[in-house]
Amino acid sequence: MWIGEMKAIQIIRALEVLDSRGNPTVEASVLLSDGTLARASVPSGASTGEAEAVELRDGDSGRYLGRGVLRAVQNVNGTISEHLGGRDAHDQRGIDLTLLRLDGTDNKAGLGANATLAVSEAVARAAALSMKMPLYRYLGGAFAHRLPVPMMNVLNGGAHADNNVDVQEFMIVPLGAQSLRDALRMGAETYHALKGLLKDKKLATAIGDEGGFAPNLTSDEQALGLLVDAVAQAGYKPGQDLFLALDVAASNAWDERSGRYKIGSERTAADLVRLYDGWLSRYPILSIEDGVGEHDHDGWRALTETLGKKVQLVADDYVVTNPALIRRAVADHLANAVLVKPNQIGTVTETLEAVELTKRAGYGVVISHRSGETEDSFIADLAVATNADFIKTGAPCRMDRVAKYNQLLRIEEELEGAADYAGPAVAERLGLGV
């Protein structure tokens, strides 16, 4: 039993607030006995994996088209607050295990992952604040020092935009930067160069959910060409300073009727693997996420066996930040990196467990936002706390995305000489000489 000074949770309250798409979400506030007050709000996905923790919505069509979260708010103000009142805020794992017990299901359907995560994160933030410690250091300890490589989603398609592009995310990755600060500058300059190119070609510069442009194009491959041109236009070397990454989000492209994927044309998993292999030979792509669908185990095998040595293969919908599913993918030797989204699993403790498992397997770690976000920058601290390889948090545009990048800038500044940009280590792991 801990016999140090206890920081007791005095009050927990939740509020229904809005996310970046104008949908309601949960914000939790936690007040400690020493007067510390902290808040956290949770994001929401559009291309969600089926096995994600349940995001509790009211289903009352009279409010917010059924998307209200008053039941989740009530679960915080009622059950959760009753059971966590008086508990030590520094006992993060104990508190998260209590949330799991109170929820009583294996997918957070009891309380809602939006309720549990808002509380779990607010408790962590309050505990850090009360110790006058930055959140990344509280969560990660004395060894938290690494600034993740940003994957900036500058061209949006799929479920994130109303255009004809099938691949959900086309990202630029400033791997060759010397610091996070340089990486963001290189990314932002390339973003502006891309805007200029789109304008020159009379293509739309309106933006999608994650701040990337969302033009109609003649093919997915045209987007790859535009990104490479934008990198060069900004004065950088494609495949040296900046690389490309994709989130195909193939589960969303799956057509039940034809039993094929609709990426450009109708394709089998084997067709997709060939398509990506062709792209890899023509473009400096270092990472492909969800290249096949979440139920397509054979597809994941073909993808990993054919491309697993050439490129980072990130599992998102396939493992949904769920430790049990990550274990299965690792045991089956499928994928070689994991996307980590705290709201897919619903507590800070389980998120940290997902990261730990991923690292122990020698897989890459990508900390990620959701397409519906808030101003909360928890994932920036989480990425540094876990010394993650990458952070995926949208374009350098829209404050819900930029808030995370700005928090990383603050952390890098605070760490000074102790900060370490992940670029060189990631380049080595992926066998890319930059």
CA separation for the pair 204, 183 (Å, rounded): 26
Nearer to Zn ion, 316 or 353 (CB): 316
Q: How many CA atoms lie within 13 A of 241 on its CB side?
A: 18
Q: Considering the candidates 55, 169, 210, 289, report the single residue annotated as catalytic.
A: 210
Pairing assessment for the beta strands 260-263 and 149-156 based on DSSP bridges: unpaired
Using CB under 6 A as the binding rule, the residues of this chain from 288 to 327 that contact ligand PGA are 316
Q: Annotated catalytic, 341? A: yes
Q: Which residues bind Zn ion (CB under 5 A)?
A: 247, 289, 316
**Closest CB to ligand PGA among residues 45, 215:** 45
- The distance of closest approach from Cβ of residue 172 to ligand PGA in the complex, given in angstroms and rounded to an integer, is 16
Name, in order, each residue with C-beta under 8 angstroms of 181's C-beta and a sequence gap of 6 or more.
409, 412
Contact between 365 and 384 under an 8 Å Cβ cutoff? The reply is no
Q: Minimum CB separation from ligand PGA for residue 159, in Å? A: 6
Concatenate the DSSP letters of all residues of 209-233 into one string. TTS-B----S-HHHHHHHHHHHHHH
CB of 339 to ligand PGA, least distance (A): 6
* Choices 43-51, 68-76, 81-89, 229-237 (CB under 6 A): range interacting with ligand PGA: 43-51
Inter-helix orientation angle 348-360/113-130, to 10°: 90
By the rule CB under 6 A, 354 interacts with ligand PGA: no
Task: Candidates 9, 28, 45, 354: give the one binding ligand PGA (CB under 6 A).
Answer: 45
Residue 287, binding choice from ligand PGA, Zn ion, none, Cβ under 5 to 8 Å by partner class: none
Question: Taking CB under 6 A as the rule, does residue 247 contact ligand PGA?
Answer: yes
Does 376 bind ligand PGA (CB under 6 A)? Our answer is no
Residues 92-111 contacting ligand PGA, CB under 6 A: none
One residue of 156, 368, 387, 407 binding ligand PGA per CB under 6 A: 368
Edge to edge, what strands does the sheet with 254-255 contain? 254-255, 260-263, 265-267
Rg of the chain over Cα atoms, rounded to whole angstroms, equals 21
Q: Which does 371 bind (CB under 5 to 8 A by kind): ligand PGA, Zn ion, none?
A: ligand PGA
Strand partners, 12: 30
Instruction: Give the binding range for ligand PGA (CB under 6 A) out of 88-96, 236-244, 368-376, 409-417.
Output: 368-376
Helices then strands, counting H and E runs in the chain, come out as 16, 16
Determine phi and psi for 295, rounding to 5 degrees. -100, 0
Residue 136 tokens read as 């990344």
Nearest position to ligand PGA, beta carbon: 45
> In the structure encoding, which two tokens stand for residue 100, read together?
């799991």
Q: Applying CB under 6 A, which of residues 25, 36, 41, 47 lies at the interface with ligand PGA?
A: 47
Distance from the first to the final alpha carbon of the chain: 49
Q: How far is the CB of 48 from ligand PGA (least distance, A)?
A: 5
Residue 195 annotated among the catalytic residues of the structure: no
**Least CB distance to ligand PGA at residue 132 (A):** 33
Closest CA to 154 of 168, 171, 166: 171
Q: Residue 54 carries which DSSP code?
A: P
For position 370 contacting ligand PGA by CB under 6 A, the verdict is: yes
> Catalytic one among 108, 341, 392, 404?
341
| Cβ-based neighbours of 356, under 8 Å, separated by 6 or more | none
Judged by CB under 6 A, the residue of 84, 99, 167, 249 near ligand PGA is 249
In the complex, the residues that contact ligand PGA under the rule CB under 6 A are 45-48, 247, 249, 316, 368, 370-371
Catalytic site positions = 210, 341
